[in-house]
Structure formats: C-alpha cells, structure tokens
Structure 1
C-alpha cells in the first residue's frame, strides 16, 4: 500500500467550511509545495503589518490581522467592498512539518509563510546490504540482515 504524505490534509476540509466567510474573503491565500517546504501566500492589502500575528498552537497555524476603516471626515462613500475589522484564519497542520522553523515575510501587502518539511518526513534511501558474513545483526534477533 502506498500512502501519500499530505501535512495539510485538514486544509481542504477547513477551507470548505470557511468558504465564503468574511475571513476567507478578507484573507485569500495560495498554498503550494516547493521542494521540501510548503509556501503560503496570504493577501492582506490595506492591513498594517504591525497588526498581523502568526501563532502556532499545537498543530494549528493561526493568522490574525486587522484592517482599520478609513475615517476621513470629508469622504462620501460610493461603494465599500473591502472588509474592515479583525480577521482570523486557522489551518490544521498535519504531521511531518517542522513547526519550529516556520518563517514569515511581508512584502507589498502579502504575508508569506514558509513551512519546512521535517527531516524525519523527507524521502530517504535505505542502504541494502548484500549477502555475506559481515552483515549486521539486529539486536535481540538471532538472524542477520542481508543473509540469503
């Protein structure tokens, strides 16, 4: 049986529940894997970067941001579609991610999070011993690995 490693398995479920909510519309995001890390881009146009908080609580990644309303006295609104207030997105992270090494950057109103895959979850090659008398013995076992 082949299992596919998917550390964001809950993402699709949560996105389905959150689709159309103010937080989703106020914080649209893209998520993809590039090599041995995941990248999340979250659009936060008009948000003060100082109001953005990124927290990890257990396996939950929480992004909070606040967009303040424009308060100019001489403005007469014709149309107002950009949501204001405090917004939060929560993503359940699967196993196999290095949560201690998440990096966050801000550029042009886009929050970018880079989440590395944990070393233990990365693909690796297992060495195969060929037959012979020098094959290692598993502790507690009477048979040697690699013997024919």
Structure 2
C-alpha cells in the first residue's frame, strides 16, 4: 500500500541536527505516525501537537500522499531561553500510495493534536468471492464440506 522514502527522512533528520541549538530557529525533525489496515481501508494517524488546524494540508497527486502542517514559533523576542526543545516550522511527510486505493474518497480529521487520514481501498481491490459454475450451466456449484474421518 505505502512505500517508505528513506531519503526524505534522512534529509529531515540532518536538517534538524544541524540546526538544533537552543533558542534558534529549528525545524521539526519528523512527523511521528502510525499506519494500519482495518477491513476495507487504511488509517494513518500523525502526531501534530500545537499545529494550527488551518495550516494542515493533505494532498494526493500522481499516487503520492503528502501531509504538510506548520507550527509557529513563539514571538517573544525579549525572552531569555533556559530550554527550547519544542520544534516549530513546517512538518512534511510523503508516502507513495500503492495500487488499489480510492484516492477520491481519502478523508482527514484533526482532533487533540492528532491528524487522522482514512485511505479506502478501491472497490476493484477489495476481496470478493467468485462463484464457480459447471461448463454449460448457469447455476452455481454449491460448496460442500468434506469431513475428515
């Protein structure tokens, strides 16, 4: 369904490490997420605490799902920082969607700092039972149970 892009993660981690000084502009290191399948759809949840819901963008283009969000920096210039561990800036995550996804029905919600994206399977990708008929007959063959013994 989804493929991991290691180069995007390495780039984000390197950028975060190079700009991790206290009290300076620091971009987010990563967007932690979970991905799981439930029946006929996938669910992606991403932790985005403190993000303005209006800054969240979920986009599908040419088989790639892109999640983007922004958390603004505190604007207190006269502050003497003792510790500055919270990241601010733009979070971005891209995932390649596999075949069989209904991209027109992808939906997203944001609640309590968690972005939830529901990614449904296309009808053609859902498992289905195929009836077996005998040659020359239109009546389906009834399945039988064979008992061991």
Which band: TM-score by shorter chain? 0.7 to 0.9
Distance in structure 2 (CA, Å) of the matches to 1:32 and 1:118: 17
Assess if the C-alpha contact under 8 Å between 1:30 and 1:42 holds in 2: yes
Higher mean C-alpha deviation, range 62-71 or range 20-29: 20-29
Structure 1 position 17, deviation (Å): 5.3
Matched, 1:77 2:76: no
Assess if the C-alpha contact under 8 Å between 1:26 and 1:83 holds in 2: no
- Structure 1 residue aligned with 2:59: 55
Assess if the C-alpha contact under 8 Å between 1:62 and 1:89 holds in 2: yes
Relative to 1, partners in 2 of residues 1:18 and 1:24: Cα closer, same or farther, differing over 3 Å? farther
Matched, 1:128 2:119: no
- Structure 1 residue aligned with 2:146: none
Structure 1 position 88, deviation (Å): 1.2
Distance in structure 2 (CA, Å) of the matches to 1:123 and 1:106: 30
Distance in structure 2 (CA, Å) of the matches to 1:28 and 1:84: 15
Which consecutive residues of structure 2, in runs of 5 or more, have no partner in the other structure?
17-26, 142-149
Distance in structure 2 (CA, Å) of the matches to 1:99 and 1:38: 12
Distance in structure 1 (CA, Å) of the matches to 2:103 and 2:110: 19
Q: TM-score, normalised by structure 1?
A: 0.76
Higher mean C-alpha deviation, range 122-131 or range 75-84: 75-84
Structure 1 position 86, deviation (Å): 1.5
Q: TM-score, normalised by structure 2?
A: 0.75
**What is the count of residue pairs matched by the alignment?**
127
